[in-house]
Chain A
């Protein structure tokens, strides 16, 4: 019987051929924790009797969830991670370096064919580079740091085939929001979501990362994007599912008619076309997070905001995915366009998305965000409303002050968002 890509990758790391439902002990190629999960991971690691990680070069610690430190308590947690990295020689990314998932891909901590475990639920993002990547908690991560291994129940795979051609202005975020709405918040629990089809194979790495990132909002264990057409800066051997592999389900969607999608409060799977909430007033527009803060996302926002101003009463904050993205946007003029439109810039990181700091909304306020979750209280205030959309929709809405289809304000203009 053929194997899914997940089964192939796990088999290679387990030293035996495995199929969905098997329990496998696997060698892990790399692992990562952040300032949100790292402190408990280090405590568990030490409680397990650990002093040095099994292989320091395969461990990365990233400060991104509360950066720069908003208070002395968190500053001391940062120091804990910083000191541990200095003592043990594991990779360390300090304040402002970037969001963990962007850094792992940018700096090749994760590569095609790898098994990677991250103490963050959006770790499946690395399925964009053909890696089997799973999110886990601090103690599981500590066990990986100690032993270089973890146990996995080999997941079933849901295959989603995307056909057709995207309309102008429609991006990967619209696709994945649509799919989260279709599959549901728990629709892929314990499973791998594999994304394939002619639409997927034409996408950039950044767009593929958007797709893999939000399989987490379907409850998935892992996401894998068909590596066909993937351009990386190094050579790799693609791993694809066999045609006779056993899939839990196969879905096909023609996305040719897809309109901009938006997730409405208070769950990511409450998704409607933007038209249905057009006119809803917004207070805060945010472009950031591991979902949509890469250079093409900032370009998308800039294409909409060029020569325009934020609507009165609307504030806009931008947190690039990494320092590298920030530098690129600085050099190519993107930051100037956004700044002249009225955007404010904050340190690359997760703070606003996860409700730590740098953009907590007030009671009754409405946030339109390029991020991935809008659970009640997500951004730090349970009395705020959070909508999720693409950077293009966020930017267009910031200009009008209400939820807007970018096509409405860019009619006739030459714009290319993809």
Chain B
């Protein structure tokens, strides 16, 4: 797996799923609709600024609150390649892996907005290319690595049939 490089969009702590995708937009199977409202109540301009391949960076407890898988789906369909946070809320973390959106926990990062960031999922490192600072990511349980390597839980179960 090649490292992912992209521009960072940096936000703070406790970004809850209501701010990632408000509940009123979640009742749909059309993921492009989700992308149109991603982070709407946090940063209404985000969806206009974001470019395919960009990286979303946050502080503690990213994805708190609801179990809505529409939250990682909205982020993924907006073009974000990977989410880096100091910590994640647990359901969001599982959901992201399950739909094939890489998420990387880096407890001590100080990545700045609009910096170029490189995420090496295989080696578990995240580098702020503008400052040269490299951070080590928390090791994911093996079961999650296997699911992510298959591109998500649907592909995993299609291939193996069982967990």
Which of A40, A65, A378 makes the CB contact (< 8 A) with B18? A378
Contact across chains for B95 and A140 when beta carbons are under 8 A apart? yes
> Chain A residues with Cβ under 8 A from B41's Cβ?
376-377, 382
Contact across chains for A77 and B157 when beta carbons are under 8 A apart? no
Contact across chains for B91 and A136 when beta carbons are under 8 A apart? yes
Contact across chains for A139 and B69 when beta carbons are under 8 A apart? yes
Contact across chains for A147 and B22 when beta carbons are under 8 A apart? no
Contact A77 B29, CB 8 Å, known A137-B94, A147-B157, A151-B163: yes
A107-115, A184-192, A333-341 - the one binding chain B: A184-192
The residues in A between 31 and 82 inclusive whose CB is less than 8 angstroms from any CB of B are 35-37, 39-40, 43-44, 47-49, 65-66, 73-74, 77
How many angstroms from the CA of A189 to the CA of B99 in the assembled complex? 21
Cβ distance B120 to chain A, nearest Cβ, rounded Å: 24
* B48 sits at the interface (CB 8 A): no
Cβ distance B32 to chain A, nearest Cβ, rounded Å: 14
Which of A23, A139, A360 makes the CB contact (< 8 A) with B143? A23
* A214 sits at the interface (CB 8 A): no
The residues in A between 342 and 366 inclusive whose CB is less than 8 angstroms from any CB of B are 354-357, 360
* A294 sits at the interface (CB 8 A): no
The residues in A between 370 and 399 inclusive whose CB is less than 8 angstroms from any CB of B are 373, 375-378, 380, 382
* B49 sits at the interface (CB 8 A): no
Cβ distance A142 to chain B, nearest Cβ, rounded Å: 8
> Chain B residues with Cβ under 8 A from A25's Cβ?
163
Cβ distance B70 to chain A, nearest Cβ, rounded Å: 7
> Chain B residues with Cβ under 8 A from A138's Cβ?
69, 95
Chain A: interface residue count, which band? 35 or more
The residues in A between 117 and 159 inclusive whose CB is less than 8 angstroms from any CB of B are 118-121, 123, 135-140, 142-143, 146-147, 149-151, 153
Cβ distance A351 to chain B, nearest Cβ, rounded Å: 9
Contact A137 B91, CB 8 Å, known A48-B154, A151-B163: yes
* A219 sits at the interface (CB 8 A): yes
How many angstroms from the CA of A23 to the CA of B141 in the assembled complex? 8
> Chain B residues with Cβ under 8 A from A39's Cβ?
27, 29
The residues in B between 98 and 125 inclusive whose CB is less than 8 angstroms from any CB of A are 98-99
* B60 sits at the interface (CB 8 A): yes
> Chain A residues with Cβ under 8 A from B141's Cβ?
23, 153
Contact across chains for A143 and B89 when beta carbons are under 8 A apart? no
How many angstroms from the CA of A261 to the CA of B40 in the assembled complex? 30
Q: Which B positions have Cβ atoms within 8 angstroms of A? A: 14, 16, 18-19, 22-24, 26-29, 40-42, 60-61, 64-70, 73, 87, 89-91, 94-95, 98-99, 141-143, 152-154, 157-158, 161-163
| 4 more A-B residue pairs beyond the given contacts A140-B98, A186-B89, with a C-beta to C-beta distance below 8 A | A77-B29, A140-B94, A186-B61, A357-B24
Q: Which A positions have Cβ atoms within 8 angstroms of B? A: 23, 25, 35-37, 39-40, 43-44, 47-49, 65-66, 73-74, 77, 118-121, 123, 135-140, 142-143, 146-147, 149-151, 153, 185-186, 189-190, 216, 219, 221, 267, 354-357, 360, 373, 375-378, 380, 382
